[in-house]
Amino acid sequence: MILEYDKLVLASILGAPLFRVVQIRRWIFSRKTYDFNLMTDLSREFRFGLIERFGSVFCGKELACEVSGDFTKKLLIEWLDGECVECVLLCDDRGHRTACISTQVGCAMGCLFCASGMNGFVRNLTRGEILEQILRLNLLLPFGERLTHIVVMGIGEPLRNLDATLGALSEATAADGLNLSVRRVTISTVGVPAGIIKLAEAVKKGGKAYKLAISLHAPNNKIRSSIIPQNKIHNIQEILEAADYYFRQTGRRVTFEYTLIAGVNDRIEHAKELAALLAGKTAIVNVIPLNPVKELGFQTPSKQTTEKFVNQLKAGNIQVKIRMKKGDKINAACGQLRLKNL
Ligand code: SAH
């Protein structure tokens, strides 16, 4: 799998000078060409060598591509070992072309309202498998268009598979990769303090300062523990401390995601408590009305409830955005991705 390797490693594996690797990368990243046979500025012999060693650039198989009316496309990809993940392309009328990618097969976090963890955790995706999702979604765009944003908000907990995730994102943001702006890449986490600190440390050492989003979803530990089992291991205070550290080290404002679930975390008191919890922080709250997952039984609050909640947060001086629902008709919205369409 050629996408597993960075430039230097690839050059050494191939026993080729770096400029050959630069040529291959140009085909892959700029010319959306994934068949070694078509890389015509490489010698026949060299191409055969590549085919013998790697087959083709992609190692996964596209099992399904579903399209929804709101310009959302969902891909189901099967890997060499038969495991599958989903990933999504979201397009809007502001010109945003966003890839939502998965980092694991299944998820160990087990959040009660999310489909991705329903069948437990299977394995981490590799750097190449994560990068392949990005490239396949980029390929769905019409000629001349390319991805503008990446959100690591698909299946899995990226901070439990940090090295592979960062490897893939580094190619997506490399000047000779997809050349996406680092500011347009968001990593969403359930809140793994050690991972957040590791990310901040990496930035301090010259790494890329991606946008960090934390799935808070509750104003206190009692509610959070009732919907996010991980909260019993790392509670809100630990997570906020790590988030503060990330902000101090990177200067990047942290986003707190708050999935509104009817009767669970959507009352005015909860909004007040959340505003108090985040008071004085340079943060933004992203309110996501629940995307229902049939088997899980939670309900989406009414529009009025959502509005009241948001207004209460604003009254508490909290910056708020509501995440528009996208792709729910094809179960491609947040928390609806799973291993296979059953
Ligand atoms: N594991 C990471 C990324 C995965 S999900 C994380 O926990 O952040 C991306 C976002 O969608 C998270 O905030 C997640 O909590 C939220 N989400 C999960 N299920 C959802 C649902 N059914 N409706 C709305 N948002 C959901």
Tell me, yes or no, whether 31 and 70 share the same domain: no
Residue 336 lies inside a defined structural domain of this protein: no
Per-residue pLDDT of 227-246, as tens digits, reads 999 999 999 999 999 999 99
214 with 171, same domain? yes
- Segment 45-78, tens digit of pLDDT: 999 999 999 999 999 999 999 998 778 999 999 9
pLDDT exceeds cutoff 50 at 194: yes
Q: Which residue has the tokens 């026993």?
A: 15
Query: In this predicted structure, what is the pLDDT of residue 339?
Result: 65
Name which residue sits closest to atom 15 of ligand 1, judged by CA: 215
pLDDT at 27 over 70: yes
188 lines ligand 1 (CB under 6 A): yes
pLDDT for 340 equals 60
Flag whether 33 is in a domain: yes
Same domain, 179 and 230: yes
Distance CA 325, CA 276 (A): 27
With b for 16 or more beta-carbon neighbours within 10 A and e for fewer, the 249-274 pattern comes to bbebebbbbbbbbbebbbbeebbebb
Arithmetic mean of pLDDT, 24-40: 95
Could you give the CA distance from residue 178 to residue 149 in angstroms, rounded to a whole number? Answer: 11
Whether 340 is covered by a domain: the verdict is no
Q: In the structure encoding, which two tokens stand for residue 57, read together?
A: 């650039």
Same domain, 45 and 65: no
Residues 97, 153: one domain? yes
Predicted local confidence at residue 335, as pLDDT: 72
Number of separate domains in the chain: 2
Q: Which of 22-26, 83-87, 250-254, 293-297 has the lowest mean pLDDT?
A: 293-297
Q: Is 291 in the pocket of ligand 1 (CB under 6 A)?
A: yes
**339 part of a folded domain:** no
Mean pLDDT, the chain, rounded, equals 94
342 domain residue, yes or no: no
29 & 164 share domain: no
Q: Tell me, in angstroms, the distance from the centre of ligand 1 to residue 287's CA.
A: 11
pLDDT at res. 71:
82
Distance CA 87, CA 95 (A): 19
Q: Is residue 195 assigned to a domain?
A: yes
What predicted TM-score, i.e. pTM, was given to this entire model? 0.95
For position 272, which CATH number holds?
3.20.20.70
- Residue that wins the pLDDT comparison between 198 and 326: 198
Choosing from 11, 36, 54, the residue where a domain stops is: 54
Nearest atom in ligand 1 to 257's CA: 13
Grade residue 342 by pLDDT with cuts at 50, 70 and 90: very low
The whole domain housing 215 covers 61-330
pLDDT digits (tens, 9 = 90+) for 279-333: 999 889 999 999 998 889 999 999 999 999 999 999 999 999 998 777 777 777 7
One domain, residues 14 and 147 = no
Q: What are the tokens at 100?
A: 């939502």
Cα 108 to middle of ligand 1, angstroms = 13
Q: Are residues 290 and 308 in the same domain?
A: yes
What pLDDT, on a 0 to 100 scale, did the predictor assign at position 60? Answer: 96
Flag whether 82 is in a domain: yes
The answer to whether residues 185 and 99 belong to one domain is: yes
Mean pLDDT of all residues in 239-257: 96
Active-site residue 86, yes or no?
yes
| Residue 21 sits in the same domain as residue 158 | no
CATH number for the domain spanning 42: value is 1.10.150.530
* Residue 155 shares a structural domain with residue 27: no
| Same domain? 42 vs 186 | no
From the list 86, 129, 132, 157, the catalytic residue is 86
Catalytic residue check, 78? no
